[in-house]
Amino acid sequence: MIEATDSDLIARAKEEPEAFGALYERYVDRIYNYICYRMGNDQEAEDLTARTFYRAMDHFHNYEDRGAPFSAWLYRIAHNLVANWHRDNSRRRMIALDDLVLSAPKGKGPAAKAEKSDREDVLMEAVRRLAPDRQQLIILKHVEGLTNAEIGQVMGRTEGAVKSLYHRALVALREDLVEEWDELE
């Protein structure tokens, strides 16, 4: 059976609720994944994932297929919601995902494992200290596995601009990590 294309589902979803459901199933993992890394908290990630798809439903009648993938539109909605959340909750203390997921092995497993975990924590904390556009790029590239051209469509930049931004993001990470990483190595 041939799987329906995004364009088919988008055309049908304006009339058929099931078609919107199919689009949701196709992209929910990627959007959740993206939000989860931006938020560092799985409960907030679930909340913002739900809001992303509700907002997509609200504005679906305005969506026009202009050649960019549908996922780029969803990522932009998710990005705006995350940015709004951080703006509105700038004073709220966030519990990092790593604190929840990676805290268990610390001190329990072999020393090497704990050291590796420390190093991963340091790396993820440094990623979260990056500017929002750099964080977005790092997540889209290393978690979502998008190409530079696809990232350009999501971020509204040229492929060359994405490459430059990626270079600057890694330089910033290296500068941020230089002391902590040397200690861990």
**DSSP for residue 59:** T
Of the candidate residues 37, 70, 73, 75, the single one contacting other proteins (CB under 8 A)? 37
Q: Does 11 bind other proteins (CB under 8 A)?
A: no
CA nearest to 37, candidates 91, 79, 92:
79
| φ/ψ of residue 98, rounded to 5 | -65, -30
Residues 179, 14: Cα–Cα separation, whole Å:
54
Q: How many residues bind other proteins (CB under 8 A)?
A: 46
Q: Which long-range contacts (CB under 8 A, 24 or more apart) does 163-169 make?
A: 165/133, 165/134, 165/137, 166/137, 166/138, 166/141, 168/134, 169/130, 169/134, 169/137, 169/138
Q: Please, which of residues 142-161 interact with other proteins by CB under 8 A? A: 142-143, 147-148, 160
Of the candidate residues 74, 78, 81, 97, the single one contacting other proteins (CB under 8 A)? 97
Amino acid occupying residue 166: Y
Residues 114, 106: Cα–Cα separation, whole Å:
5
Residues 153, 8: Cα–Cα separation, whole Å:
21
Mark the segment that binds other proteins (CB under 8 A) among 2-10, 15-23, 75-83, 129-137: 15-23
Q: Output the smallest distance, CB 4 to other proteins, in A.
A: 16
Q: Does 103 bind other proteins (CB under 8 A)?
A: no
Q: Does 15 bind other proteins (CB under 8 A)?
A: yes
**DSSP for residue 62:** G
Q: Output the smallest distance, CB 91 to other proteins, in A.
A: 26
- In the complex with other proteins, the residue whose CB is nearer, 108 or 142, is 142
Which residues contact other proteins (rule: CB under 8 A)? 13, 15-18, 20-21, 24-25, 28-29, 32-33, 36-37, 42, 45-46, 49-50, 53-54, 57, 97, 119-120, 123-124, 127, 138-139, 141-143, 147-148, 160, 163-164, 166-167, 170-171, 173-174, 177
